[in-house]
Amino acid sequence: MYSAIFRNILFPIMERFNGTEIQKNLKELEKTQWLSRKDLEVIQLKKLRSLVYQSYSNVPYYHSLFKSINLYPDDIKSLDDLRKIPVLTKEHVKQNQSVIKATNYTGALIPAASGGSSGEPVQFFRTKEDFSCAWAAAFRGWKWAGYDLGERYATLWGNPVGVAQQKKVLKKVKNTFMQNISLSAYDMTDQTLDEYVRIIRRYNPKIIRGYAQALFVMSQYMNKNGISDLHPVSVLTTAETLFGYQRSEIEKEFGCRVFDGYGGGEAPAAAYECQEHCGYHISSENIILEFVKDGEIVSSGEKGKILVTNLNNYAIPFIRYDMEDIGIPSDDICSCGRGLPLMKSIEGRVNDMIVTPEGKFIHSYVFSAIFRNMHSIDQFQVIQETENTVTIKIVNNELFGEQDMNYIKTTLTPVLGENIRLRVECVTDIPILSGSGKRRFVVSKVPIRF
């Protein structure tokens, strides 16, 4: 009953007050998802040409850039022509704050920032049109997981003030209308997790969504304490790389399927899994994703650095923006019938990989596979300070002994190679990224070209 009232009365009132059109865009996206890829590419090209014209005419940064390479809006005749535009990096955005904003845009702007997983968050602005389109894509992805607007959900997110956030008037009002309980992923202890379990048990949300690692930690707590009565319809993970063993553990403890998603501040609601779980459907009505290696587009099934073009932000255009993430595109057609293109998998961030002096890439999956079955270790973090040095920080418990230290060294030394000096350091805690609630397992400070 409430869900229908929310969709038909409360949400439209909220939208009118906020000046957004999320529901209108959601209805459109629910139609366009069934179009063929060719028809979706027609939509993309039309929006891309309009964005390029806006950027050339009204964004000083892009006007100068296009002039310097002798490129004009009419030169973008196909989606392949997008490659004529140079890649945009975080540094470009940070160094050109005064000239990357459109001079003709007079509408209301929404402050935004990247997640800062690299330690260098980027500040920028979003238009309400972009905000509306992104949230529409997000809600479409949630619907694939069994959720509808107005139904109860719980969010395990990066909120440093935790449950106390509910006491803030505006936030509490919004969460009440949205039927959302917001829980903090910032300080997850046995005490707070016990409180979260009681809250979720009492609230009985349709879905639970949040950081992949935070939900994994919660599933471990449930396993350890024999908690088996939390049964949402689905769990939605995002914001961090979801490892296969974590997906399995979360699904086992919550008794439902996990639906993973991909996005970021510069590419919100970029891709989601549908009920077939054969990859991530890209929100191609809103964005263009490219996968490149050594400056070339990779083939289906190959790893590539993800570049995003946000087709809706006319105030601060992000064209071929380097997300610093690695993904694998797919030419497969999903059996669900949707024409939206697929990303096979998300491999992690560029700086979540260790690179050896020989040029070999070692993915974070390797380390998670080694440590996941070591019951004597509660947390770990791998840090590459230089090309020749790797430090592994571990938070060990009473089960840890000399044999565990030897196992770590004898297992990882062959993986890293003889030219990397390995150091293992026992610590009391692995720090969380400031203000985010995320904890990175692998951190490389060595520049990686991909």
pTM: 0.83
Token digits of residue 354? 């260790």
Rounded CA-CA distance 236/227 in Å is: 20
Query: pLDDT tens digits for 200-219?
Result: 999 999 999 998 888 988 99
Of residues 201, 148, 157, 153, the one with CA closest to residue 11: 148
Given this model, what pLDDT does residue 356 score?
A: 81
Given this model, what pLDDT does residue 245 score?
A: 85
Range scoring the smallest mean pLDDT among 83-92, 209-218, 298-307, 353-362 = 353-362
**Which architecture, in CATH terms, is 2-151+206-348?**
3-Layer(aba) Sandwich (3.40)
Contact 303, 293 (CB under 8 A): yes
Higher pLDDT: 164 or 282? It is: 282
Given this model, what pLDDT does residue 264 score?
A: 84
Given this model, what pLDDT does residue 163 score?
A: 43
Query: pLDDT tens digits for 395-448?
Result: 888 888 889 888 888 888 888 888 899 999 999 888 765 444 556 778 888 776
**295: alpha, beta or left? (left if phi > 0; alpha if psi -120 to 50):** left
Query: pLDDT tens digits for 42-94?
Result: 999 999 999 999 999 999 999 999 999 999 999 999 999 999 999 999 889 98
> Which secondary-structure segment (H or E) carries 322?
strand 321-330
Q: Would you say residue 351 has pLDDT above 60?
A: no
Rounded CA-CA distance 31/100 in Å is: 34
CA atoms within a 13 Å half-sphere pointing along the CA-CB vector of 73? 16
- Percent above pLDDT 70 for the chain: 90
Token digits of residue 295? 């400056």
Query: pLDDT tens digits for 153-204?
Result: 999 986 544 444 444 566 677 788 889 999 987 667 788 899 999 999 999 9
- The CATH number given to 353-444 is 3.30.300
Contact 25, 133 (CB under 8 A): yes
Residues 6+ apart with CB under 8 A from 297: 83, 290, 291, 304
Q: Would you say residue 14 has pLDDT above 70?
A: yes
- Percent above pLDDT 90 for the chain: 57
Q: Mean pLDDT, the chain, as a whole number?
A: 88
Contact 206, 152 (CB under 8 A): yes
Rounded CA-CA distance 291/271 in Å is: 14
Given this model, what pLDDT does residue 276 score?
A: 97
Higher pLDDT: 373 or 333? It is: 333
Of residues 251, 188, 233, 123, the one with CA closest to residue 432: 188
Which part of the chain is CATH 3.30.300?
Answer: 353-444
Range scoring the smallest mean pLDDT among 248-262, 349-363, 434-448 = 434-448
Range scoring the smallest mean pLDDT among 14-18, 328-332, 403-407, 428-432 = 428-432
Residues 6+ apart with CB under 8 A from 50: none
Which part of the chain is CATH 3.40.50.12780?
Answer: 2-151+206-348
CA atoms within a 13 Å half-sphere pointing along the CA-CB vector of 296? 5
**Adjacent-strand bridge partners of 258:** 235
Given this model, what pLDDT does residue 158 score?
A: 66
Given this model, what pLDDT does residue 305 score?
A: 92
Q: Would you say residue 366 has pLDDT above 80?
A: no
Per-residue pLDDT, averaged over 128-149, amounts to 97
